[in-house]
Every structure is written in structure tokens, then in C-alpha cells.
């Protein structure tokens, strides 16, 4: 499967724990985006990364959230000290450099905070 791979697909955490979501972009894609979809809401841009660089993190909450895309390995979205309001579907998307507006999304990671 050459699509965008996300894991875990489902993650349950208790308040105060950490959540780590991983994303491997499509083969040949060097640009990774994270979007969040809260219940009953639309997708919201969080962050845009290229290898070893955060290009645009204007959609990231100021605290507890961080993202990286290392030289080797998947992109990781990390949420520290999770709260119930973090419960959402987190979608990763990738694109080639010459994007024409089409993002290829992974199936998402659904985080539930108890």
C-alpha cells in the first residue's frame, strides 16, 4: 500500500497522559500536513512540515502540541498531558512539492481521552 499510513488508528488515553501519532507520507512525497477534526466540526489545519523543518505551525495550539518530521522515519504529532478536548480525529496528509491543491490523506488516528 503506497498511500499515507497513519498509526495507531485508534488511541485511548487518560487525562494527563501523552499521545503520539505517527504518519508516513506517500512514496515520493516530501510534504506532510496534520489536520484535526473535532466532533461535529470541519477539518482544521494544524501544521505543515518538510523533512527536518516546520514550515507553518500557525494552526497548532500554543501548548502541549508539537510535531516533527525527522530525516529518517515518520512524522510524529505529539500531544502532552492530554485533556478531554483533545479527543478528535487527527489526519495526516502528504503532497509532492508541486501541489495542485490535492492532498492525500491517511485514514486518520482517532484519539479518545477518558
Scanning 18-26, 63-71, 77-85, 92-100 for contacts with other proteins by CB under 8 A, the matching segment is: 92-100
103 is a contact residue toward other proteins (CB under 8 A): yes
* Three-class secondary structure of residue 52 per DSSP: coil
Is 106 within 8 Å of 3 (Cβ atoms)?
Answer: yes
101 is a contact residue toward other proteins (CB under 8 A): yes
- How many other CB atoms are found less than 10 A from the CB of residue 21? 24
DSSP code of 97? S
Here's the x/- map for other proteins, 52-91, by CB under 8 A: it reads as: ---xx--------------------------------x-x
In sequence order, the β-bridge partners of residue 90 are 36, 109
Q: Which of 13, 95, 111, 113 is the binder for other proteins (CB under 8 A)?
A: 95
Chain centre to alpha carbon of residue 69: 10
Q: Which residues bind other proteins (CB under 8 A)?
A: 31, 33, 35, 41-45, 48, 55-56, 89, 91, 93, 95, 99-103, 105-108
Amino acid at each position: 500500500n503506497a498511500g499515507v499510513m497513519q498509526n495507531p488508528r485508534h488511541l485511548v488515553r487518560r487525562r494527563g497522559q501523552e499521545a503520539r501519532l505517527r504518519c508516513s507520507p506517500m512514496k515520493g512525497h516530501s510534504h506532510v500536513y496534520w489536520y484535526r477534526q473535532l466532533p461535529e466540526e470541519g477539518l482544521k489545519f494544524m501544521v505543515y512540515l518538510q523533512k527536518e523543518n516546520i514550515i507553518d505551525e500557525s494552526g497548532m495550539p500554543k501548548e502541549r502540541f508539537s510535531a516533527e518530521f525527522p530525516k529518517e522515519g515518520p512524522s510524529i504529532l505529539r500531544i502532552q498531558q492530554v485533556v478531554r478536548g483533545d479527543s478528535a480525529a487527527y489526519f495526516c496528509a502528504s503532497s509532492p512539492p508541486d501541489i495542485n491543491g490535492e492532498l492525500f490523506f491517511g485514514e486518520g488516528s482517532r484519539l479518545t481521552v477518558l
